[in-house]
Structure 1
Amino acid sequence: MRCPPASTDLATRLVSPRTKAANDGMPNACSLWGPVAVESHPTFVIFDLFGTLVPAPASSERRAAAAQLAWAMRVPMAVAETALSGSWRARHDGQLRSASVVAMHFIERCGASPARTNEVEAVLARLAHHRLQADRALLQALKELRQGGIRLAVLSDASPDVAEAWDHSELASHFDVAVFSCWAGAVKPDRRLFQRVLAKLGAEAGQVLYCGDGGGDELAGAERAGMRALRVTRRGGPTGLVFGEAQWSGRTIPAVEALPSLLDGWGAR
């Protein structure tokens, strides 16, 4: 886990978790965070989705998804894989605004029969449902944050099939607001996304802590929007697929599950 010297600017903007963590068998909090100055407690936390709340997809998962789409369209695997990888931006930046439109897009690009559209849409829905499965420990951490009075939002570069599946996921009930790039018409780090989620929360940027694995240059984007930003080590491991990642020299925590302890100790010297 990366941890810059305590004298860095960002180190003065986050407050350590419980300092006696070493006594209960956990790493000493100061070894993770260092001495930091007191700042106003955040009342809102905005999370990235993939790589932060749920695993970033691995290459093997992407190939498996392409295989299912190929079967649904009755086209060669290589054709479906090319269509899937080549459509990332169109699926995420608002060009394709529903799962049915995404399905028709794949049909057209792969030269498949339009009669297969419903089958392709069913595959997309099934894959989206699977991708939104969350760990029990993470769901518990979100519950603890809300019990502590923190309002939560998710801001994700996501395709319409994922956005449509969100309300039926276990994650959805833990969040006050969800903003998806496919419906907002922009991808990270576009400032409009951060402005959209702030408006939906009714929050000022200075009240917000943004947490993400760093894809899409989201951490710098959040800071440019006036938020505090915190990197979460990528869920699913370093081999997870990520787009537009930029170097980050600020604070990192090992997982979202560590956040309740951090916020519990906010303001303690």
Structure 2
Amino acid sequence: MKYKAVIFDLGGTLVRNVGWGAYEEAALRIAEQLSAPVDEFTRQWFEESSRLGTGDFTNYSEYIRYTCSEIGYQTPEDKLHDASDIMVDVSRRLVAGVRNDAIELLSWLKSRNYRTGLISDCFSDIPALWDSTPFASLIDVAVFSCFEKRVKSDIRIFHTALNKLAVSPDKCMYIADGMRNELTNAASLGMQAVQIYLPKEIDHSPIREDWKGTVISSLSEIKNLLEGV
């Protein structure tokens, strides 16, 4: 058996992509909830939103306050809870969108004694929801960017997952939809990087990479990639 482990991305991979538009809509709704100037608020929100994934903020309320302060707007404290829930709702929808073949594939991998891992660029609400998902019992090692203080544009997060799985890069396959050069970074380490590509889920995300390597259109195809080596 050439490969000993498979590491997955979460959003757009094990679960369906909610789309960049969902995050744009959420930022817009938060601005409206706060009665903040919409254009200024949303521009500032996305200017530094990657810091949510690196754990620079402990909760959405803190980031909302920061965004308001950066545009010189007084945060209405009585509206913070409802505003924060708008983002939490996006995360709930994300983890609920389990792909039809995801659980079957993970169960198959476990039955074949493959080690399984996850690397997710996310805010702390995702790990808070993790144990309630059907993935928790099927993933051996889950690495969340908000805890590691780095996202997948930083190659060190891949080293973290590999070390926790106790597997070398050449014995590991990485499956993702392709954000922040995650596929390119995984491949540069010697991992077999595979993009899951579904045209109907492709959006205008500014962090999507232009991947030229191996591509699949369903998770079930991973079996053939593993068994065919």
2:41 and 2:68 in contact (8 A); partners too = no
2:138 is the counterpart of 1:170? no
2:161 is the counterpart of 1:197? yes
The count of corresponding residues between Structure 1 and Structure 2 is 226
Amino acid in structure 2 at the alignment position of 1:93: T
Amino acid in structure 2 at the alignment position of 1:231: Q
Task: Name structure 1 gaps, 5 residues minimum.
Answer: 1-39
Cα distance between partner residues in 2 of 1:231 and 1:255: 10
Cα distance between partner residues in 2 of 1:140 and 1:83: 41
Q: Percent same amino acid among aligned pairs?
A: 24
Task: Name structure 2 gaps, 5 residues minimum.
Answer: none
Q: 1:172 to 1:75 in 2, by over 3 A?
A: farther
Q: 1:147 to 1:98 in 2, by over 3 A?
A: farther
Amino acid in structure 1 at the alignment position of 2:197: T
Cα RMSD after superposing both structures:
2.6
- Which residues of 2 match residues 25-174 of structure 1 at below 5 A? 40-109=1-70, 111=73, 112-133=75-96, 134-174=98-138
SS in 2 for 1:136: coil
**How far off is 1:213 after superposition?**
1.9
2:196 and 2:218 in contact (8 A); partners too = yes
Which structure has the larger Rg? 1
Residue matched to 2:170 = 206
Q: TM-score w.r.t. structure 2 length?
A: 0.84
Residue matched to 2:180 = 216
Moved over 6 A (4+): none
Cα distance between partner residues in 2 of 1:164 and 1:83: 26
Q: TM-score w.r.t. structure 1 length?
A: 0.72
1:230 and 1:253 in contact (8 A); partners too = yes
Q: 1:189 to 1:87 in 2, by over 3 A?
A: closer
**How far off is 1:157 after superposition?**
1.8
Q: Deviations over 1:236-263 (max 9, x none)?
A: 5222525151x33321111223213432
